[in-house]
Each structure stands twice: as C-alpha cells, then as structure tokens.
Amino acid sequence: MGAAMEDAERKRRIRRTAILLALLAIAVYVIFIALTVMRRT
Amino acid sequence: MSTVHTHVDTHVHDAHDHGPAKGWRRWVFATNHKDIGTMYLLFSLAMFFVGGVMALIIRAELFQPGLQLVDPMFFNSMTTMHALVMIFGAVMPAFVGLANWMIPLQIGAPDMALPRMNNFSFWILPFAFTLLLSTLFVEGGAPASGWTMYPPLSLQTGPAFPMSIFAIHLMGASSIMGAINVIVTIMNMRAPGMTLLKMPLFTWGWLITAYLIIAVMPVLAGAVTMLLTDHFFGTTFFSAAGGGDPVMYQHIFWFFGHPEVYIMILPAFGVISEIIPTFSRKRLFGYDAMVYAIASIAFLSFIVWAHHMFTVGMPLAGQMFFMLATMLIAVPTGVKVFNWAATMYKGSLTFEPPMLFALAFVFLFTIGGFSGLMLAIAPADFQYHDTYFVVAHFHYVLVPGAVFAIMAAVYFWLPKWTGRMYNMKLAKTHFWLSAIFVNVLFFPQHFLGLAGMPRRIPDYSTQFADWNMVSSIGAFGFGFAQILFLIVILQSIRGRSGVKATDKVWDDGMPQGLEWTLSSPPPYHSFEVAPEVK
C-alpha cells in the first residue's frame, strides 16, 4: 500500500513538473513576442 | 561524486519482465529509454555525415580562388544548411541520445519519466529534417541567408522560407519536450540516497542544459514566427520601412543563440568530467566547484548575447558591459579546465580512445575559448567580425569541443551499450587522424581571418589561396577519417570485435557510478528495483 501511494505521488509530481515546464516554455514564447510588439507600438 | 552501494541485485528481473517488441514496432512505438537513445544517436550520426558532405562541398569550392564547382547561391545554401544540420540535427540529438541512454542508468531510474513523450520528441526529428533538406529541391533553392536568418536578407528566400521555419519550429518542439523529460526524470526519478550533489556530472550538465533549452528555444521560435508574419501577413516587426527594427531581430536571435552554444557544450563538460577521472584512476578534483561552474556558465550565457553584434552600433556602456560579462565566463571555464588538470595530476593515466578524445577536448576547446576571449574585446572585434577568425573560433569550440566530446562519450559507453569491446587500434587511428586533420582544417582559418578574409563567400582574393588550400586538405582528411568511426561502431554493434565487455568495462576500481553496477549490455529493463545510494 505504501509503495502504491508512493507511486501515485510520484506520478502526480511528474505530471505537475512537466506541465509547469511546458507552461514556462509557452510563457517565454508569448513574452518575447509581446515585448517585440510593445517596442513596435 | 557518489559512492554507490547497491543493496539489491540489479541483474535480477521480476516475473513481469519482457524484452523488446519484434521488428519495426520496437522502434516506431519505442518507449524504452535505451531504444530511443539508440535512435537519437543513429539519427545524429546520419546527420553528421549529411552535414559533413555539405562542409566538404564548401571546402572543395574554397580549395582555390575563383568559382569552380558550385553556384554562389548554392554555396550560401550550403553554409546555411551545414550549420542548421550540424547544430540541430547532429550535435543536439547526439547529446539527447546520450542523455536518454545514460541519465536513467546514472540516477538509478527504470526509464525516463515520460516515455511516450520521449518517443514523440524523437520521431518529430526525421520529419523536421526531411522537410528542411527537401528545401534543396524547391524553386529558388534552400535557405541561403545563414543559420542566423537575419532580416531583411532572409525575407528574400523563396518557397524554402516557410518550410525551413516550420522545420525549425519542429526541432524546437522536439528539443523542449526532450528537455522537459530530462528535468522531470532527474527531479522525480532518482534512486533513494541519490541527492543532487551525488549525481554524476554528465547528469548535472544535462540538468542545467535542459533548463537552458526551455528558456531559450521558445525565444528562437518567437523570432522565426515574427519573421514568418513579416513575410506573409504584412507585419513589420523587423522592417524599418514599417516602423520595425531589423537590429531587434539580432538581439532576439542572439538571446537564444548564445545560450544555444552552451546547450551544445555543457553536456560535453559532463562527459569529460566522467572520462578523465576514469582513466586517471582518481576521483574528480573539485566536484562541487565543477557543478557550480556549470551553473555559473549557464547564468552568464544569458547576459552576453550582444557580443555577437558589437559592430551594429551600441552605446559605449553596452559594449563595456557585454565585453566584461563575456570575459567573466573565462573564470568558471578556467575552474573546469584546472580541475580536469588537477584530476590527472599524479593519476595513473592510461590512454584508451575515450581518454585521448577527452584530452584533445581539453587542449583544443581551450584554444577555442582563448580565441573567444579575443573576440570578446569590443574594439578588436571590429577587426575580427565576420571574418574567418570567427569561423575558426566557433569550429574549435564545436568540433574538437562538442563533437570530440560526443565521440569520447561513444567510445566510453559503447562497450556498456553493446556488451562488447570495440577495435581499439582502429579507434585510436580514428582519434589520431581526427586530431591531426581537425587542426590542419581549422587552425589556418585563424590566419585567414586575421588577414581579413570574410566568411560566407565562395570566392576570395589570391592572397588567401595557400591557407585555404591547407584548410581544405584538412577538411577532406577529417571527413574521410570519420568513416573509421562508422566502422568501429558497426563492428561493435554486430559483435565483430569479439571481446566481451565486463560490467565495469574499463577498470575494477574506476569508473564509479550506478551505470557500472549493471551488466554489459544492461538488461532491457534496468533498475526495476531501485538501488540504494549511500
């Protein structure tokens, strides 16, 4: 039971870390385009 | 560095163990980190030869002054495509392949954390490069404005333009997914007791590299997206005529471009830090300092980008800042080089192929580092900018730097992967031919640059003829020497070399680390029971 809980917790952490990193990448993409747009206008 | 005590027999499999799928399904639907690592490495080897042929076309044209072999436009396509193929197709996938193979083994994990995404990030690459290479056959030819794709020149590209931009987006997506996988794996899948400061330096180098990739690949994606909208949708981000700023593109590009250089070299630092202690039979000198040096280099890589563009015109304070920040990188890099030297000091050195490549890396990468320091000096850079001195500099960093580190890594871990030793004599011949010809190829380019030969030109003044001829001879020598690399690898994969590799492969005392507790080759599913690290 303990090991199963540990696995579930690990899966949850893996998913959370992956989503956060993917959001970071998308944020960098959007921010750089937004900054360039702001400089243009 | 960790001292490893495994409390479980890692060779024992449980009842659910199964081998690989049969036939093509094993590779197309691969989720095993070893299979995906192998595919990455083979793909990068293929791209290494494709990019190499392009380099030989460039050097054949430059063998003597005048236009001999190719059309100038095609020549420019070759310089552009050679760079894109080598950076995104050869060097980066090679390190991702090494990461796939070695990171789970080094941290005691059964696989990468996200195996299906791992499959996807690999299989994007063949499509991306098919698309990129197919631009050679479209009307107007392949992109020819350099890998930097500066506007307005790059906006004059024909139908190849959207194809190459889509290919770059695909490569970026693949790299980002690979990087996410590496970080998630290292942060969540380490064996009990494997604290961060016990991890092998290859894994450390990759952890920091992965953060760099996530931070800067989207910047490249943003830059090329804006190029695309400037070309097709009437925006004027980089067009002065519409109120935009072409120099802005250069800032954005190099904000990506400089960390990209470190993306290609930090895993190499990790590889060298694994190999030198093994063949010196000593623990790595200054492990903590090595980790902090990698982190420092990664941080500094974000604040030096404008040293690539001193000549576009910038305030004196800007020049001073970027010059001094760039020079600061020499401090952590120096820490690494001195620590490698200190590791070898009074060691029991032997010179097997991985160690030969690692030693050549230390000497020749340092030459590239020193010429980088020369280029960092803003007033001097006005003389060097866009000359062959720059070409010599970055090729010293990338060929006897990153590429030699990849070869060192392959020769270091190949017996672990295949379970068989390779032909040492042939590998050493490969090393000596590579080490000699790489210098014949690139060292004269320093002289050409200092004498004023510009880069990216198919023809040149006759005063540059002699050193160009020497450089081209070196290029063909280096190129043909790589056939030996292919032969050594193929022999080892097919088991032709015969000698079975032991678990530790190189020596009973060294190397240390979890990967060497496994059999050679490791079982298809390794560390299903997590080892314990003390």
Do residue B180 and residue A32 have CB atoms under 8 angstroms apart? no
The CA distances from residue A20 to B206, B222, B346, B422, in Å, are 19, 19, 47, 43
Q: Which of B431, B267, B274, B269 is nearest to B353 (CA)?
A: B431
Tell me if chain A has a CB within 8 Å of the CB of B227. no
Q: Is B528 a catalytic residue?
A: no
Do residue A29 and residue B222 have CB atoms under 8 angstroms apart? yes
Beta-bridged to residue B4, according to DSSP, are B533
Tell me if chain B has a CB within 8 Å of the CB of A17. yes
Q: Which of B43, B87, B50, B54 is nearest to B402 (CA)?
A: B87
Residue position matching structure tokens 């953060």: B211
Catalytic residue among B123, B206, B254, B262: B262
How many other C-beta atoms lie within 10 A of the C-beta of residue A11?
A: 12
Q: What whole-number distance in Å separates Cα of residue B329 and Cα of residue B326?
A: 6
**Which phi-psi region, left, alpha or beta, contains residue B158 (left: φ > 0; alpha: ψ -120 to 50)?**
beta
Q: Token pair for residue B411?
A: 């020769």
Q: Is B147 a catalytic residue?
A: yes
Size of interface A-B (CB pairs under 8 A): 68
- Taking every pair of C-alpha atoms in chain A, what is the biggest distance, in angstroms? 59
| A-contacting residues in B 231-250 (Cβ below 8 Å) | 236-237, 243-245, 248
**3-state class of A39 per DSSP?**
helix
ipTM summary value: 0.90
Q: What whole-number distance in Å separates Cα of residue B219 and Cα of residue A20?
A: 17
Beta-bridged to residue B533, according to DSSP, are B4
The amino acid present at B524, given as its one-letter code, is Y
Q: What whole-number distance in Å separates Cα of residue B295 and Cα of residue B489?
A: 33
pLDDT beyond 70 at B8: no
Q: Which of B511, B506, B106 is nearest to B277 (CA)?
A: B511
pLDDT, tens digit (0-9, with 9 covering 90-100), for B211-238: 999 999 999 999 999 999 999 999 999 9
Q: What whole-number distance in Å separates Cα of residue B378 and Cα of residue B316?
A: 10
pLDDT at B3: 47
pLDDT, tens digit (0-9, with 9 covering 90-100), for B323-363: 999 999 999 999 999 999 999 999 999 999 999 999 999 99
Q: Which of B186, B184, B41, B187 is nearest to B104 (CA)?
A: B186
Q: What whole-number distance in Å separates Cα of residue B335 and Cα of residue B369?
A: 13
Q: Which of B64, B61, B90 is nearest to B77 (CA)?
A: B61
**Which phi-psi region, left, alpha or beta, contains residue B146 (left: φ > 0; alpha: ψ -120 to 50)?**
left
DSSP letter (8 states) at residue B69: S
Q: Token pair for residue B205?
A: 């180098």
Q: What whole-number distance in Å separates Cα of residue B498 and Cα of residue B408?
A: 21
DSSP string, B247-300: HHHHHHHHHHHHHHHHHHHHHHHHHHHHHHHHHHTSPPTTHHHHHHHHHHHHHH
Tell me if chain B has a CB within 8 Å of the CB of A26. yes
Q: What angle do CA A23, A28, A30 make, to 5 degrees?
A: 95
Tell me if chain A has a CB within 8 Å of the CB of B462. no
Q: How far is CA B18 from the centre of its chain?
A: 34
The answer to whether the CB of B245 falls within 8 A of the CB of A38 is no
Q: What whole-number distance in Å separates Cα of residue B427 and Cα of residue B397?
A: 22
Cis peptide before B521 (omega within 30 of 0): yes
Q: Torsions phi, psi of A20, nearest 5?
A: -60, -45
pLDDT at B497: 66
Do residue A21 and residue B225 have CB atoms under 8 angstroms apart? no
Tell me if chain A has a CB within 8 Å of the CB of B113. yes
Beta-bridged to residue B420, according to DSSP, are B500
The CA distances from residue B69 to B445, B454, B480, in Å, are 21, 20, 20
Confidence of residue B14 (pLDDT cuts 50, 70, 90): very low
Q: Is B174 a catalytic residue?
A: yes
CB-count exposure of residue B313 (10 Å: 0-12, 13-18, 19+)? exposed
Q: Token pair for residue B113?
A: 């954390």
Higher pLDDT, A29 or B3: A29
pLDDT at A3: 53
The answer to whether the CB of B529 falls within 8 A of the CB of B517 is no
CA distance A37 to chain B (A): 7
The answer to whether the CB of B371 falls within 8 A of the CB of B389 is yes
Region B406-412: what's the mean pLDDT?
98
3-state helix, strand, coil in chain B (%, to 5): 70, 0, 30
Query: Which of B174, B184, B229 would you mutate first to test chain A, the one with the most A CBs within 10 A?
Result: B184
The answer to whether the CB of B158 falls within 8 A of the CB of B122 is no
Q: List chain A residues with CB under 8 Å of B243.
A: 40
pLDDT, tens digit (0-9, with 9 covering 90-100), for B27-61: 999 999 999 999 999 999 999 999 999 999 999 99
Q: How far is CA B116 from the centre of its chain?
A: 24
Higher pLDDT, B70 or B16: B70
Q: Torsions phi, psi of B500, nearest 5?
A: -75, 135
Q: Token pair for residue B102?
A: 């070695």
pLDDT, tens digit (0-9, with 9 covering 90-100), for B467-476: 999 999 999 9
Q: Which of B399, B400, B416 is nearest to B359 (CA)?
A: B400
Cis peptide before B354 (omega within 30 of 0): no
pLDDT, tens digit (0-9, with 9 covering 90-100), for B272-330: 999 999 999 999 999 999 999 999 999 999 999 999 999 998 999 999 999 999 999 99
Q: What whole-number distance in Å separates Cα of residue B376 and Cα of residue B330?
A: 11
Q: What whole-number distance in Å separates Cα of residue B373 and Cα of residue B325?
A: 11
* Torsion over CA: B263, B188, B284, B423 (sign): negative
DSSP letter (8 states) at residue B4: B
Of A21, A32, A33, the CB nearest to B214: A21
Confidence of residue B16 (pLDDT cuts 50, 70, 90): low
Q: Token pair for residue B274?
A: 């694994």
Higher pLDDT, B434 or A6: B434
Q: Token pair for residue B373?
A: 């320091």
Confidence of residue B508 (pLDDT cuts 50, 70, 90): confident
Tell me if chain B has a CB within 8 Å of the CB of A21. yes
Q: List chain A residues with CB under 8 Å of B215.
A: 24, 28
